[in-house]
Amino acid sequence: MEKKLGVYICTGCSIGDAVDVEKLGNISKNALRVPVVKSHFALCGKEGIELIKNDIKSGEVNTIIVAACSPRVKYEEFDFPGCLVERVPVRELAVWSQEPEQAQLAAEDYVKMGVIKAQKGDIPEPYMMETVKTILVIGGGITGMTAALNAANTGYQVVLVEKEDKLGGFANKLYKKVPTAPGEYSEPLIVDTDIDKTIKEVESNQNIKVYKSAKVENTEGQPGQFNVTISSNGSSENVMIGSIILAAGWRPYDATKLEHLGYGKSQDVVTNIELEEIARKGKITRPSDGKEAKKVAFIQCAGQRDPNHLSYCSAMCCTTSLKQAKYVRQNPDATAMILYKDIRTPGKLEFYYKAAQDDPGVMLTKGEVKGVSDAGNGNLYVEMEDSLLGKKVKIEADLVVLATGVVPATVDDPILNLQYRQGPGLPDLELFDGFADSNFICFQYETRRTGVYAAGAVRQPMNMAEAQEDAAGAALKAIQAAEHVAKGVAVHPRAWDMTFPDPFMQRCTSCKRCTEECPFGAIDEDEKGTPFYKPGRCRRCATCMGACPERIVSFKDYHVDMIGSMMKNISVPSDDDKPRIIVLACENDAYPAIDTTAFQHGKLDPAVRFIQLRCLGSTNLVWIADALSRGVDGMLLLGCKYGENYQCHFAKGSELANYRLGKVQETLGRLQLEAERVGMLQVAIDEYDKIPQMITDFVNRVKEIGPNPFKGF
């Protein structure tokens, strides 16, 4: 497409009062050679939009620079399909956040940058490849089966891989389950799992292919094109997969580590899972002598909430013990005693707690269980301290049940067996005690492996009903991923983005930085270190573009040269007392914060010019070197918080930017410039009230260092 540029300047919202619009127009026309330059009092109004639309219709323009307000507002108005649109926030960055005397120069800089950006950018074209949309579900328990049924019933082919020789997972081991109720619970409080019905439904579904006694040996490729090797009963098979649902489930915590609670010392100390097996056989009996148990003590948090065992809470054990108390109470002469730290039946499960405890033989008390000892009469004592029954008590029981916790399958097995340069499993698992959980509160299904969505107890400790809900969500995300990849569009968080990294491989030096740094493991490499970009795995954060010392990675509307050229067009005042500082801001958090500061007419230091980046991870060090070598006094990077509770939507972007800054010193040293001229600050989107001070402080620091000696060269 031959670009026909048009600059449209809005004079409303005080822009016209603060800025010499004619001069701005002339700069666009003469210096930047933009053929069409127009202004309007309210560009976003019907008339203003018509003005632009008419120029588009007449073929005069197809690349539109709107010098008006922030891209975060009036997005519907300034949407011109088929055209490249560049929004220049003159109102916010040059007028509302600047003193009147500073507005003109700022507006000129921002308009120039907008025009350069439009000149250097192109309309995105999607990355098209042959894809399949088959969904792979790993795990044939209630979660996996529910996910498979959801996807299959929506019309997708599903491949279900189960490690056992029977579908059903943990539900097969259960005697009964907790029923579901919209509100209050009533008898029966224990009901059949009906797992066989679900198994039948799965096995008879034409869209679902089930592999039993099977394992995923290898997963190669990328979403839309995963080549998955499934081994089953000695033979293996390759299937093409679009996206993956990880529903590998959990196992109970190893009770042999709970010797202090009597496990292994007395036969009559069993786990809650073992109790299910006992219950399935009929009466609740003691393993030691086969006699019916009449005094059953349940020890809650048997390992959970204990840093020596599991530091988390398993969320479902309280409800499970209440359910199992009802097993015990099938004998009207038996008592079930639940010994807890806190009863955790959140939400409407409180109704289950209430119903289950309203039984003469169900007894509960809070306290710290210290141990289990022999009572000398064939029974056991559960020793408790700080209990509601007394400071130090022994509870006599003929059977002790340990409510052991949930350990995710992923804690020691990658399960997915990805053939990825960065490893076979999901990264970050150590943050979540081995669960395939998400770091994102708002986006629970987001993992750092595109097209892989975890559900059920492998993701978080949860009960069966919750797992079924979770499975539905994961199925939707898997479908979404398969569909997006087929259309060549990114998935979360840039779910609208049709660009993709397009490396110019001839200049690649196989330095491996991109393959190492990509937060999503989207880039593999051969034995020589040559990278292979897998756009299906890519989230478009452009961390690779920032990492590449050869500057070979580019996107249609975002590349090293584009941002570099924009920087080159920023004015650098020759006065020594007027520093120029460039602030690179993450467009997801830092920029909206700056935008809000400006919206509130908060004043930002006139020394700074802001440039939005997709993610701070895309910061290429060449920008810093180039800018500083042409006299820019300092550069500040504003990005998301990183560390354990990182907030970066691309997981590692801001952290990597900071890591790279550590390396820029060398370059600055070569230029004989002070390292302090370049800095990075972490800022959250709601810290707009702090931004002016943060920036002023940085500017003052640079002022203290003194003007850049390259100024004027």
Site string for other proteins, 60-99 (x = CB under 8 A): ---------x--xxxxxx----------------------
Do 360 and 351 contact (CB within 8 A), yes or no? no
Q: Using the rule CB under 8 A, is 483 a contact of other proteins?
A: yes
Report d(CA 542, CA 547) in Å as an integer.
9
Report d(CA 488, CA 654) in Å as an integer.
26
One residue of 25, 169, 592, 631 binding other proteins per CB under 8 A: 592
- Residues 436-465, interacting with other proteins (CB under 8 A): 437, 440-445, 460-462
Report d(CA 47, CA 165) in Å as an integer.
69
Site string for other proteins, 622-641 (x = CB under 8 A): -------------------x
- Find the distance separating the first CA and the last CA of the chain, reported in whole Å: 37
- Residues 667-706, interacting with other proteins (CB under 8 A): 684-689
Report d(CA 468, CA 142) in Å as an integer.
7
Q: Using the rule CB under 8 A, is 17 a contact of other proteins?
A: no
Q: To the nearest whole angstrom, how small is the minimum distance from the Cβ of residue 408 to other proteins?
A: 11
Q: Using the rule CB under 8 A, is 315 a contact of other proteins?
A: yes
Report d(CA 526, CA 531) in Å as an integer.
7
Q: To the nearest whole angstrom, how small is the minimum distance from the Cβ of residue 461 to other proteins?
A: 5
One residue of 7, 13, 322, 542 binding other proteins per CB under 8 A: 13
- Residues 532-571, interacting with other proteins (CB under 8 A): none
Closer to other proteins by Cβ: residue 417 or 647: 647
One residue of 160, 202, 248, 362 binding other proteins per CB under 8 A: 362
Do 263 and 271 contact (CB within 8 A), yes or no? yes
Closer to other proteins by Cβ: residue 290 or 307: 307
Closer to other proteins by Cβ: residue 211 or 432: 432
Report d(CA 135, CA 38) in Å as an integer.
52
Angle at the Cα of 580 from the Cα atoms of 579 and 586, rounded to 5 degrees: 140
Percent of residues in the chain assigned helix, strand, coil, to nearest 5 = 35, 20, 45
From the list 535, 430, 533, the residue with the least C-alpha distance to 486 is 535
Q: Regarding beta strands 368-374 and 362-366, do their DSSP bridges make them parallel or antiparallel, or are they unpaired? A: unpaired
- State both tokens at 229: 């090797």
Altogether, the residues listed in the chain come to a count of 713
Amino acid (one-letter) located at 126 = P
Do 296 and 261 contact (CB within 8 A), yes or no? no
Report d(CA 525, CA 512) in Å as an integer.
8
Site string for other proteins, 121-150 (x = CB under 8 A): -----------------------------x
Q: To the nearest whole angstrom, how small is the minimum distance from the Cβ of residue 409 to other proteins?
A: 16
Residue tagged 């935008």 (tokens): 595
One residue of 351, 532, 659, 710 binding other proteins per CB under 8 A: 351
Q: With CB under 8 A as the contact rule, which of the stretches 132-140, 203-211, 355-363, 502-510 interacts with other proteins?
A: 355-363
Angle at the Cα of 20 from the Cα atoms of 14 and 25, rounded to 5 degrees: 115
One residue of 124, 242, 252, 361 binding other proteins per CB under 8 A: 361
Q: To the nearest whole angstrom, how small is the minimum distance from the Cβ of residue 633 to other proteins?
A: 30
Q: Using the rule CB under 8 A, is 344 a contact of other proteins?
A: yes
Closer to other proteins by Cβ: residue 193 or 314: 314
Q: Which residues contact 522 (CB under 8 A, 6 or more apart)?
A: 222, 450, 533, 534, 535, 537, 538, 539, 544
One residue of 108, 109, 470, 517 binding other proteins per CB under 8 A: 470
- State both tokens at 11: 């004079």
Alpha helices in 460-576, H assignment, sequence order: 464-487, 513-517, 543-547, 560-568
Closer to other proteins by Cβ: residue 59 or 332: 332
- Residues 593-612, interacting with other proteins (CB under 8 A): 596, 599-600
Give the other-Cβ count within 10 Å of 359's Cβ. 18
Q: To the nearest whole angstrom, how small is the minimum distance from the Cβ of residue 213 to other proteins?
A: 29
Q: To the nearest whole angstrom, how small is the minimum distance from the Cβ of residue 312 to other proteins?
A: 5
346 prior amide bond cis, ω within 30: no
Q: Using the rule CB under 8 A, is 290 a contact of other proteins?
A: no
Q: Using the rule CB under 8 A, is 343 a contact of other proteins?
A: yes
One residue of 314, 404, 515, 620 binding other proteins per CB under 8 A: 314
Residue tagged 């089953």 (tokens): 232
Site string for other proteins, 164-193 (x = CB under 8 A): ------------------xxx---------
Q: With CB under 8 A as the contact rule, which of the stretches 132-140, 271-279, 356-364, 421-429 interacts with other proteins?
A: 356-364
Closer to other proteins by Cβ: residue 77 or 525: 77
Number of residues lying near other proteins (CB under 8 A): 112
Backbone angles phi, psi at 511, to 5 degrees: -80, -10
Q: Using the rule CB under 8 A, is 109 a contact of other proteins?
A: no
Q: To the nearest whole angstrom, how small is the minimum distance from the Cβ of residue 480 to other proteins?
A: 5
Q: Regarding beta strands 634-639 and 135-138, do their DSSP bridges make them parallel or antiparallel, or are they unpaired? A: unpaired
Residue tagged 């931004």 (tokens): 691
One residue of 63, 647, 658, 682 binding other proteins per CB under 8 A: 647
Amino acid (one-letter) located at 231 = S
Site string for other proteins, 484-503 (x = CB under 8 A): x--------x-xx-------
- Residues 26-45, interacting with other proteins (CB under 8 A): 42, 44-45
Report d(CA 440, CA 526) in Å as an integer.
32
- Residues 370-429, interacting with other proteins (CB under 8 A): 381, 383, 386, 388-396
